[in-house]
Amino acid sequence: MFSLQQKIAVITGAGSGIGKAIALLFGKQGAHVYVTDINKEQADATVQEITNNGGTAYSMICNVAKQKEVQETFAAFDHLDILVNSAGISHIGKAEDTTEEDFDRVYNVNIKGVYNCIKAAIPLMRVKSGVILNLASVASSVGLPDRFAYSMSKGAVVGMTLSVAKDYLKDNIRCNCISPARVHTPFVDGFLKKNYPGKEVEMFEKLSKTQPIGRMAKPEEIAFLTLYLCSDEAAFITGNDYPIDGGFIKLNN
C-alpha cells in the first residue's frame, strides 16, 4: 500500500522542515523525488539522505516566486505525477504593523509561489494524470493572533486548492491541501532563539500546549498524511482541506 514506485514527484521547500520529511518518505516509497529549494546546500543534503537510503532523488534549485524560473525548471519534465507545494515563509504581525514589503514577501512565496508551480505542473499532468497537494495551515480556518499576512496567504492556498480541483476533474488531476497546526521544525527552534533568548524551553512548552493534544506535530506525521493523499489509495479524494492539528480547530475552547 501507498507505493509511489516510479512516480515523478516535485516537492518544493524540500531542503528542510516539513518538505524534507515529505521528500524522505516519498523516496522510501519509490518515487523519483525532485527536491526543489532555493537553498542548494540544503537541497543537496536532502538528496544525499534519500540516496543513502536506497531512493532516487535530484536537486532542483528554484525560487518559486519567480514564474520564469519555475517554468524553465519544470521544462525538464515530459510529464509529472505529483506536486507538493511545501515552500512557504511566515510572518508575525497585525494588519497595522505589517509593512508593504513584508506583505509582498509573504504573498510572493506563499501565494504566487504555489500558483507558479501549479501553472507549470498542470500541462505536464494532463499527459496521464496527476496529484497536487498544497500546504495550508490552521491559520486559514481560525483567527491566530499576530499572523495577518500569513493567515491571508494560507486562506488563499485553500481557495486555489478548491479552484484547481474543480477545474481539472476531467483531466484526472486531483488537488487537495492539508492544514497543520504547529509543527516542530528548525524554523520553530530558530524563531524561539531569536525572539525568546534564554527562555526557549519555557516558550517551547507554552507553544506546544496550545494544541489540545499537548504537543507539536512531528514533520514525519505531516508527511504520512501527504503520502496518503498523493497515493493511488486516495484516488477518490479531491477538493478537500484536511486539518492535521492535534485538535486545535475543533477542541481549542
pLDDT digits (tens), the chain, 253 positions: 999 999 999 999 999 999 999 999 999 999 999 999 999 999 999 999 999 999 999 999 999 999 999 999 999 999 999 999 999 999 999 999 999 999 999 999 999 999 999 999 999 999 999 999 999 999 999 999 999 999 999 999 999 999 999 999 999 999 999 999 999 998 889 888 988 899 999 999 999 998 999 999 999 999 999 999 999 999 999 999 999 999 999 998 6
For the question of residue 58 being annotated catalytic, the response is: no
Q: Each residue of 211-226: b (16+ CB within 10 Å) or e?
A: beeeebbebebbbebb
Q: Is 121 exposed, middle or buried (0-12, 13-18, 19+ CB in 10 A)?
A: buried
pLDDT of residue 99: 98
pLDDT of residue 190: 87
Which domains does the chain carry?
Answer: 8-181+218-243 (3.40.50.720), 182-216 (no CATH)
pLDDT of residue 252: 81
Q: What is the pTM of this model?
A: 0.96
Catalytic residue among 150, 168, 196, 228: 150
Sequence length of the chain is: 253
Angle between helices 40-52 and 17-28 (to 10 degrees): 30
